[in-house]
Amino acid sequence: MNDSLRDKLWKLLRRNLPRVLSQLNRDQDSPLFGSFDRNFWHYKIRDFSSVILQQGILIPDFLKDYEAEDNPLFNHPLMEEWIQGSLKFWASQQLRSGSFNEYYPFEEGYPPTAFSLYTVGLVFKNRGFSKPEEKVSGAIQKACEWLIRHPEREALNQEAAGLAGLTLCSKIPGIKVDDNKLKSRLSELYDRQSGEGWFPEYDGPDTGYLSVTIDCLWDIFEVSGDNRAYLAIEKAVEYIASMISVSGETPIMINSRNTDYIVFYGISRMAESNPLASLILQKLINNTGKPDYYLNRTDDRYISHYVYQSCFRSLPFLDKICTPAKSLHADNKKNIIYRKAGIYIEHRKDNCSIYVNAGKGGIVNIFNTKGIIDVDFGWRARLSRNNIAVTHWLNKSYYINMDSKDNIVITGKMSAHSWMKPSPAKHIILRSVSYFFGNRLIPWLKKLMIFGDKEIDVSFTRQVIIHDHSIEIEDDFTGKALSNIQLYRAPHYSLRHVSSAGLYVPEELLSIEETEAIKEKDKIHFKRIINL
């Protein structure tokens, strides 16, 4: 008998449960009991705990009530002790301001404050919003006060998590949240959803982070009854459905932040009545047996993060999903153009999916029913030992023409980037500066590691022409700086820093044949044909 979706997902999650529990300090005599940061409490690599990892609390909190034959945590008396220890440890790590650290001391980070408060709110929701003990209650109140004063404008999954945490914690006895400010922030979040269904993630759409936002929106909807959250999820589900290929995978580098995952909880709740959400779950979870499945490559940090806890939380609802839509890609040739995102998608019935992200310089991903089969990530040029120029970059200054069907043109300048290499001196400086400036340091770090749109004097034009049986890619480069650089094919990797990205993916092994360059004075032309 074929396994149900719930059984398939449970097998994968159950296999990785020991990895999850190994992240938690379970020794009740330890002064660090309850920490989910193994690098802190066990390896002593860090001298502070990355509080965003406390999201792992939700896994034992869920499993203590999840009845399954091979669930060792079901009704186990230790679970409540572990959960209470984790809550107390969370409270002990709070900074004076009410915020928490993720990457370095005195950080006052929005993500660790937002996601950990969201987690704490869910723990108390599962207990009927019972009153916390005084130390935890005080930490919740301070975190709420900090979050209500510090909106996140650029990564909206983080803002959604913060608002979900505030919404949940406002229901806890004794916790006060400024209702007017919360309503204003929620309205702003809904207003920023694109008509195409996505929320901005550093200037573009990202499927993985959008699925995290859906989780948050569902919890907001369930607690507050705000129908705007439900409608936002509906639009987001439609966008995610379009991003799933004929192989049941997603195009990683087409995303603004290069994520390789989709989390399930919010989608599973929506799938009780939404056939498209139901089909998304079928497409994704039916691949769990593959060695390269994205949950198999989740690293130890994100196994405690929202990825695994969301998947665990979805289990009880997978048997309740409605009858799925017949097919994600029923049309013989279905073209989707997201003009605001700069993304072109074409699904050819059930045998081929083509993705072009013009907003990232015209990168191309092609899938068949077995997986990704061809890619094109544009070009690089080495400027110095530690600096390279790229066309594979999300740059708002690119000129994009997607008016002609199946013909996409991108024009812009190559962006210059370098690698940030850690050193003891840099860490000493970071800690010293953050001690005095705290949260005010973060915009500068984002500019340095995430945005960084420094351009060089080399212009490029990429034209992607999609035919019935092939894709034609033509690249033209102009500029005086061409005489001092050597252009070469860009690999899979992006130089935009994203914590949850950078895991090994099969497309890294795909090779691209070198294309002969046609050179003229201050101009180079390349032409590549991909046969479908």
The DSSP annotation for 225-258 comes to: --HHHHHHHHHHHHHHHHT--TTS---GGGSTT-
Is a pLDDT exceeding 60 seen at residue 164? Answer: yes
Strand segments (E) across 391-468: 399-401, 407-418, 455-466
> What is the Cα–Cα distance from 324 to 318, expressed in whole angstroms?
12
Over residues 386-439, the pLDDT tens digits come to 889 999 999 889 999 998 778 999 999 999 988 888 888 888 888 888 877 778
141-162 per-position pLDDT tens digit: 999 999 999 999 999 999 999 9
Confidence at residue 330, expressed as pLDDT on a 0 to 100 scale: 59
Check: pTM over 0.85? Answer yes or no. Answer: yes
Average pLDDT, the chain: 93
Domain ranges of the chain: 5-320, 334-531
Q: Is the pLDDT of residue 333 over 80?
A: no
Kindly report, residue by residue over 492-510, the tens digit of the pLDDT: 988 888 888 888 999 999 9
At the topology level of CATH, where does 5-320 sit?
A: Glycosyltransferase (1.50.10)
Contact (Cβ atoms closer than 8 angstroms) between residue 456 and residue 413: yes
Residues of the chain with pLDDT > 90: what percent? 79
Under a CB-based contact definition with an 8 Å cutoff, are residues 342 and 358 in contact?
A: yes
CA distance 309 to 320: 19
Q: Write the pLDDT tens digit of every residue in 273-300.
A: 999 999 999 999 999 999 999 999 999 9
Q: Quickly state the pLDDT bin for 1 (edges 50, 70, 90).
A: very low
Residue 195's Cα: distance from chain center in Å?
A: 20
CA separation for the pair 111, 101 (Å, rounded)? 9
Confidence of residue 443 (pLDDT cuts 50, 70, 90): confident
Return the higher-pLDDT residue of 188 and 455.
188
More confident residue, 494 or 318: 318
Strand partners for 478: 459, 523
